[in-house]
A and B are shown apart, each in its own frame.
Chain A
């Protein structure tokens, strides 16, 4: 690699300096001054681990939003796949089988969402709001609202350390890397950007935009299934309401990270920072004993703050 190649992403980072960086820095400053425990290594590791599920959701959410769409069903699909995963695990004892079942169910929801949004041209918000209800309902019906406790097998996997990091952290790192490669170096990623940016151009180039559009939602569903593995392991149970509201956090992290609902503008590193910002906020508020409902309000404010920073920057 020569200098310019190294310098380019760095320059881009500096010239961008997106709102999310300032927001994140501010949050860290505030919480480290308010709580002595915030900057302890144990707590930082905690933030990282708590953010894994959100990252697994926010990465595909970034793609969905880049196509000028949205996936409201993500949290509900996460709940449902978590329940599916737990019950399959209890029944068969095979983690691989359980994960496959969860990912497949997620995939099915994603294909359904994408099919309606892309081929039937229904508004993604409405479509995914509908499937959100469907998935949430199924999760509750299948369990009668109870948790499905899984054995220690999954918990052991969750806490396994490998090269200084826990397995969920490795999963997060690998996923981020995979999404980065997808966006930067594959046709799929290029076309995700083009679907939001100029769908006609893509169609005129002879690409079946519809197929890729569906694939984006399919990926979103499948990743919800993947996230279900981490969530279930962390809770040692599949719970039918565990994922409620997670789509909100995922959308928030994506928007805070600078991805736009227009013209296919998306930024994965921003999403990563957005996830960390949401994680820091939740963790910090927990340390300060702020109740969970108030945390949701704070995340909402976070989104507005980040947009405000970007808006001010644009005007400057």
Chain B
């Protein structure tokens, strides 16, 4: 090719305790190029971004800037090279104004040391905003701006740093169609000015309309780099999916599901999900798949009554359900949240105490705690769920992740729950514990419970669920039966490629 790339990464590796987040990744970007970065949740995109902006230091690998070897070992070094990253959570300060945010850390100096030349700062901010075609007042406090405008401020901030390499993490995730168009025209303008853009996206339409080149990551490895013209959506999906980990979970798939346990009809909620309809029957494990941010957790929270339902109906066991978490518990629902250590168990309390926590009123109707009875119940649950703990009196803290998860499940079993809503049940547990958790779920549903399982790992959805719903942009975009449940199909729906 023509001149050397503006930035080239060779053989970048980064390991975290227990995980190889990046494995020998090479990647380059040319001036005026939009390089699309694709990958499943957890494929290593965010780690790569953090390495690029100097927040993480790569364990191995080299960086070349204009063909010359350089180091990126700090955020300052990355900035020096003209690399600017726009994260999804903005790096803006809410109670500073637009100009102060654009120039944070690089304020033009005034006459006295430590002072800021406000006039010059606002004039320069104005110039950058004009360049982007924005009419924002530079004195506006950022917290009063909408998401799209905040993003523009982020871009302005990057440009003010004379950024030549702009990294954007799913920039359209929170934008309306019109705002997207605005962003795209800005990107094209930047491109024309010779800025190199690394663009992370899940949306196929964007990938093909904006990208010059596409790189696909999976499990921390680069699967391929293609020119957009040579790529097809099917091919990209193929490259993205297919975890290498062995996935043979013992699962007795449910041939004849029982009565309808949960029936959500056209539900919309204050947290942004809309038009969601789903059914869960006794004896089923139903998946809720989708990319991070597609609204899966929000659906669970709305069903459980933790967020307000604004339209539609929820029926539990043929009874209309309307109410908060307490009513949900009484109706036999259990929401097992993603943050096991923060929301699931009380880490510094004992196994026995944790197991009894959700069923205290039931176990001790006269409000007096009986430690012996609590221990008996705990013993029974420990045996039934095969929780590996030295004794019921040990703190949950010392248990493995998988066993902690079992404690959470046990807690709800004791409370009489029949419908378990799991949000990422295997987050942070090792492979062995995963298999054990799924075996437990299998037994649970065989005994007359049912499970709605949110998971970001496609392989789990595919190998464990009887059927699965797929979410995108706050609503359900597909429903796959056991026979049609493949990683490719789920991914196609999740990225908005329609059904195949």
Query: CB-CB < 8 A to B90: which residues of A?
Result: 201
> Are the CB atoms of B91 and A198 closer together than 8 Å?
yes
In the bound complex, how far is the Cα of B79 from the Cα of A184, in angstroms? 26
Interface-located stretch among B110-118, B339-347, B361-369, B429-437: B110-118
In the bound complex, how far is the Cα of B94 from the Cα of A181, in angstroms? 20
Query: CB-CB < 8 A to A8: which residues of B?
Result: 139
Q: How large is the interface on A (under 10, 10 to 19, 20 to 34, 35 or more residues)?
A: 20 to 34
In the bound complex, how far is the Cα of B87 from the Cα of A205, in angstroms? 13
> Are the CB atoms of B95 and A205 closer together than 8 Å?
no
CB of B300 to closest CB in A, whole Å: 27
- Known contacts being A186-B114, A187-B116, A194-B104, is A204 close to B55, with CB within 8 Å? yes
B318 at the A/B interface (Cβ < 8 Å)? no
Query: CB-CB < 8 A to B114: which residues of A?
Result: 186-188
Which of B76, B96, B114 lies at the interface centre, i.e. has the most chain A CB atoms within 10 A of its CB?
A: B96
Q: Which residue of B lies closest to A181 (CB)?
A: B115
- Known contacts being A186-B114, A187-B116, is A265 close to B139, with CB within 8 Å? no
A206 at the A/B interface (Cβ < 8 Å)? yes
Which of B92, B95, B118 lies at the interface centre, i.e. has the most chain A CB atoms within 10 A of its CB?
A: B95
Query: CB-CB < 8 A to B110: which residues of A?
Result: 185
- Known contacts being A204-B75, A263-B143, is A187 close to B93, with CB within 8 Å? no
The one of A188, A190, A197, A202 that contacts B94, using a Cβ cutoff of 8 Å: A197
Within 8 A of B (CB), among A172-193: 181, 184-188, 190, 193
Within 8 A of A (CB), among B75-126: 75-76, 79, 90-96, 100, 104-107, 110, 114-116, 118
Give the number of residues in B that approach A within 8 Å (Cβ atoms): 24
> Are the CB atoms of A187 and B75 closer together than 8 Å?
no
> Are the CB atoms of A197 and B116 closer together than 8 Å?
no
Query: CB-CB < 8 A to A193: which residues of B?
Result: 93, 95-96, 100
The one of A188, A205, A263, A266 that contacts B104, using a Cβ cutoff of 8 Å: A205
In the bound complex, how far is the Cα of B91 from the Cα of A263, in angstroms? 13
A264 at the A/B interface (Cβ < 8 Å)? yes
> Are the CB atoms of A205 and B94 closer together than 8 Å?
no
> Are the CB atoms of B139 and A198 closer together than 8 Å?
no
Query: CB-CB < 8 A to B96: which residues of A?
Result: 190, 193-194, 197, 264
Interface string of A263-277 (1 = CB under 8 A from B): 111100000000000
The one of B106, B115, B116, B118 that contacts A205, using a Cβ cutoff of 8 Å: B106
Query: CB-CB < 8 A to A184: which residues of B?
Result: 118
Interface string of A8-49 (1 = CB under 8 A from B): 100000000000000000000000000000000000000000
Q: Tell me what chain B mostly uses at the interface: helix, strand, loop, or mixed.
A: loop
Which of B79, B92, B107, B115 lies at the interface centre, i.e. has the most chain A CB atoms within 10 A of its CB?
A: B115
Query: CB-CB < 8 A to B94: which residues of A?
Result: 197-198, 263-265
Query: CB-CB < 8 A to A203: which residues of B?
Result: 75
CB of B112 to closest CB in A, whole Å: 8
The one of B75, B93, B100 that contacts A206, using a Cβ cutoff of 8 Å: B75
> Are the CB atoms of A266 and B95 closer together than 8 Å?
yes
> Are the CB atoms of B104 and A190 closer together than 8 Å?
yes
> Are the CB atoms of B91 and A264 closer together than 8 Å?
no
Query: CB-CB < 8 A to A181: which residues of B?
Result: 115
Query: CB-CB < 8 A to B115: which residues of A?
Result: 181, 185-187
Which of B79, B96, B104, B139 lies at the interface centre, i.e. has the most chain A CB atoms within 10 A of its CB?
A: B104
A304 at the A/B interface (Cβ < 8 Å)? no
Query: CB-CB < 8 A to A186: which residues of B?
Result: 114-116
| 9 tightest A-B CB contacts, nearest first | A205-B105, A201-B91, A197-B93, A194-B93, A207-B105, A198-B93, A265-B95, A206-B76, A205-B104
- What are 11 residue pairs bridging A and B, where the CB atoms are less than 8 Å apart in the complex? A184-B118, A185-B116, A186-B114, A187-B114, A187-B115, A193-B96, A200-B91, A202-B104, A204-B75, A204-B91, A206-B79
Having A187-B107, A190-B116, A264-B95, one finds 5 other A-B pairs with CB under 8 Å, namely A198-B92, A198-B94, A201-B93, A201-B104, A205-B105
